[in-house]
Structure 1
Amino acid sequence: MSKTFSNFAQLASFVASGRTNEEQIEAYEGAFIEHDEMARMSIVDAPERMEMPDPDQVRVAVEMMMQTMFDVLRDTRLESYAGDLAWGFANSFHVVAKRIEGREDDAAKQLRELARTFDPSEIYATELEDTQLLCQTLQGCREAMECMRDHAAEVYRVETGRPFSPVRGSRVSSSLTASMIDARDYLAARARERREQFTPEGPVVAFSGGQQWEDVDLLWRGLDSIKARIPEMILATTAQSKGCDAIAQAWAAARGVKVVQFRLDRKLGAKAAFVRNDRILGLKPVEAVICEGSGIQMNLAQKIRQAGIPLHVVRLEHQATQAVQRRA
């Protein structure tokens, strides 16, 4: 029996009624909160009454937008491009969220300046109140945009098997998905706002490996065993886009483990990879996994051994042995 809808709200309600993802629903309800009856979108605009969109309708819209692209292109010549298009959708939410965050930081800076230069006048009180409202409004908009980004990122991960990661910078997430934190943000977080999001608490497990690796299950099982012993672990990787690091980051996204990505600082030239290894060691990891790759992995393994950190070395013959055992 077919069902017709006269507007999007009815469609959203119908689709939402068939879903039972409580974590996802809670994430939207937590992000789409109106902290005040009034909203202020810029320093020059007067406060006005503007409601947040309905979280269920937004959730369904994001789901439909992402999922429809995969469904329409599946089993066609364009199927291989569906992931690229979906990444672009998720990244657009990320870009807008970062833009809002920049405005939020500017407003917060202004608010701190006002707090330092107290003035008992009515003009000062009005400016302080307006700036507080602007900060609050921008914070709510950012959290809502990040929630939509995280939802889109989760659909992308489920469909492609790869975690969504922006080209530059961090993706600090709600509880819906794991965070991917750029190492520069992580190390500089003491001087930043939102400190608790950029410096997640927990024991660090270092991970690095070569760009040629096929046995996904071998690495997932190994990381699962570590997480069983260290439930609050944070994974620090060398941020390569393929091979072992990509597999580990996909595992982290699926398991809700926060990732700190140590990308190469190209300005350092030939020594960039070795400096990166030292920076990972600077986090004082409690355990490490090194998969056979290049001399960079050998260097990191040597430094980890010298530091007395428990080390798991996974060699290429390990995955060959596992493949033979599975065929047998």
Structure 2
Amino acid sequence: MTAMQTSITHTAFVQKSDSAFDDLTAALDDQRAHPAEEALVQLGRALMTELLDVIADTALEDYQTTLGEALIGAFHSAAGRIEREADRARDTMRSLDRDFDGSEAADAELQEATARARAGDAATQACELVRDAAAQTWTVSTGEVWTAWRGSRRGTHLTAAQLEAKQAIRTIRARRASDGDPGGPVIAFRGAPTADAAVDAGRIFDALNWAKQEWPDMVLATTGAKGAEKLAIKWAQQKGVKLILARADFDAHGKAAPFRANDDLIALEPSCCLTLVHSVDRDRSGDQRPFGPALNFGQKAMEHGLRHVPIRARPA
């Protein structure tokens, strides 16, 4: 048994609960109690509810989206910072384990680094629970969907995980190079920003429900644009489906950004590409043009030999 294995072996038996977070904190060597998972979830809901109640019917209501996303993003940022601290503690653990000389001082230092890593993991999960509860309340109260602006996001029991497209592409290529299992099938979706009516939501959900029946372990990939794609993200959150975001980088690519995002979606090698080029609401059909990036995505899918399924209105 290595020094690291010795240092992380628990002698105390911990009673299992229904919460992975509560089990984690109960196993920590800390005399102070941790908040229970239920309390952290309630905190996230209460913070968001209080914010929305305070600014409702005031001049600040015009900035509701900015303020709501800032509150959620604060806990997301905190989780990332604490996780990086825990990762540094793990780097220290590996270094100490590699150079372990059996001395009491070295063992104490290793145990201290182990305790820091464990405590950081618990604090990270605590922030994620508050974040996801606040985000869930935000969606229920406003109908808007929060997604992390950058980076990937680990899921909790409240939400599924969210990945950046660049990270997912690298993983897919690495698996292909090693002849490994490519993982869950990717279903990619591009939709018009104007396709945000109730009838649009119904058709989008119909298409995604069909896709999940065809590929039960599917992963949804989209750019996260407003309108149709926000509705698709809401569906993924409700179904616990992992999300990959290929965001359009307007700073780097200007007006071509939505089309470059299509390239990232194609690079994910989706099993099926869904498109909704305009609203299926017949009351809007007279004055709308097809959404160019969604048309382009469908064309690229066919050029690459990928299955393309356009979403259309129900037959009259």
Q: Match for residue 303 of structure 2?
A: 306
1:10-47 CA-partner distances (Å, limit 9, x unpaired): xxxxxxxxxxxxxxx95xx32233254524xxxxxxxx
CA offsets 1:133-153 (integer angstroms, 9 cap, x no match) = 111110111111111111111
Distance, in Å, in 1 between the alignment partners of 2:36 and 2:293 is: 50
Deviations 1:78-125, CA, capped at 9 Å, x for gaps: 555445433322222111111101111211222222233332332222
- Written as runs of structure 1 = structure 2, the 5 A alignment for 1:22-171 is 29-32=19-22, 33-39=24-30, 49-74=31-56, 79=61, 81-171=63-153
- The separation in 2 between residues aligned to 1:270 and 1:77, in whole angstroms, is 33
Identify which range, 53-62 or 226-235, moves more after superposition: 53-62
Alignment of 1:139-288 (within 5 A): 139-188=121-170, 201-214=183-196, 215-240=200-225, 242-265=226-249, 266-268=251-253, 272-288=257-273
Work out whether residues 169 and 182 of structure 1, in 8 Å CA contact, stay in contact via their aligned partners in 2: yes
Corresponding letter in the other structure for 1:97: A
- The alpha carbon displacement at 1:237 in A equals 0.6
The superposition leaves residues 170-207 of structure 1 with CA deviations (integer Å, 9 ceiling, x where unpaired) of 222112112222223334569xxxxxxxx994111011
For 2:155, the aligned partner's letter is S
| Cα separation, 2, equivalents of 1:35 and 1:53 | 11
C-alpha distance in structure 2 between counterparts of 1:59 and 1:239, whole Å: 26
Change (3 A) 1:78 1:233: same
Count of residue pairs brought into register by the alignment: 275
In 2 relative to 1, CA 90–268 (structure 1 residues): closer, same or farther, beyond 3 Å?
closer
Percent identity between matched residues is 30
Q: Is the 8 A contact 2:221 2:244 kept in 1?
A: yes
| TM-score, length-scaled by structure 2 | 0.76
Gaps of 5+ in 1: 1-24, 40-48, 191-198
Structure 1 segments of 4+ aligned residues over 6 angstroms from their partners: none
The letter for the 2-side match of 1:246 is: K
1:38–1:248 CA distance, 2 compared to 1 (3 A): same
TM-score (norm 1): 0.73
TM superposition shift of 1:59: 3.1
C-alpha RMSD of the superposition: 2.9
Indicate conservation of the 8 Å contact 1:289/1:311, yes or no. yes
Distance in 1, matches of 2:255 and 2:201, equals: 30
Distance in structure 2 (CA, Å) of the matches to 1:72 and 1:221: 37
For 1:175 and 1:56, the matched residues in 2 are separated by: 12
d(CA) in 1 for partners of 2:150, 2:238: 21
